[in-house]
Homo-oligomer: A and B are copies of this chain.
Amino acid sequence: LAKHNQAKVLYDFSAEPGNNELSVKEGETITITNPVNITSFSLTFLNWNQCVLHIMWLGNLKKTLLCVTGVLGLIYERLSSACTCLTSGAEDDEWDDEWDDMKSTSGYPESESGDSGAIQRGARLFSCCTDALTLNRRKILIYKNLVSVFGAQMGEVGPVWSYPTTQLDCVVADPKKGSKMYGLKSYIEYQVTPNTTNRPVNHRYKHFDWLYERLLDKYRSAIPIPSLPDKQVTGRFEEEFIKMRMERLQGWMTRMCRHPVISNSEVFQLFLSYKDERDWKTGKRKAEKDETVGMMIFSTIEPEGPDLDPLEVEQKCEQFSRFTKAMDDGVKEILTVGNEHWKRCTGPLPKEYQRIGKAFQNLSSVFTSSGYQGESTLTDAMTAAGKTYEEIALMVAEQPKKDLHFVMETNNEYKGLLGCFPDTIGFHKAAIDKVKEGDQLVATSKITPQDKTMMAKRVSVMSYALQAEMNHFHSNRIYDYNRVMQLYLEEQVKFYETIAAKLRQAHSQFTTM
Contact = CB atoms under 8 A, between A and B. Distances in A.
Interface of A: 156-157, 316, 319-320, 322-323, 326-327, 329-331, 333-334, 337-338, 340-341, 344, 348-349, 352, 355-356, 358-360, 362-363, 366-367, 369-375, 377-378, 381-382, 385, 471, 474-475, 477-479, 481-483, 485-486, 489-490, 492-493, 496-497, 499-500, 503-504, 506-507, 510-513
B374 A362 contact: no
A507 B490 contact: yes
B485 A381 contact: yes
B489 A507 contact: yes
B471 A372 contact: yes
A403 to B, nearest CB: 11
Copies of this protein, total: 2
Given A327-B366, A348-B344, A503 B481 contact: no
Contact of A378 (B360, B481, B503, B506): B481
Given A352-B340, A375-B478, A500 B503 contact: no
A152 B344 CA distance: 54
A334 B319 contact: no
Contacts of A320: 371
B330 A356 contact: no
A492 B503 contact: yes
A350 to B, nearest CB: 12
Given A363-B331, A363-B334, A510-B486, A378 B478 contact: yes
Contacts of A157: 372-374
17 contacts: A157-B373, A157-B374, A316-B371, A322-B369, A330-B362, A330-B363, A330-B366, A331-B363, A333-B358, A341-B356, A344-B348, A360-B485, A367-B481, A378-B478, A489-B506, A489-B510, A496-B499
Contacts of A375: 474, 478
Contacts of A337: 352, 355-356, 359
Given A367-B477, A385-B485, A483-B513, 18 more contacts: A157-B374, A316-B371, A320-B371, A323-B366, A329-B366, A333-B358, A337-B356, A337-B359, A340-B355, A375-B474, A378-B481, A382-B481, A486-B507, A489-B504, A489-B510, A496-B496, A496-B499, A500-B500
Nearest to A484: B510
A489 B330 contact: no
A329 to B, nearest CB: 8
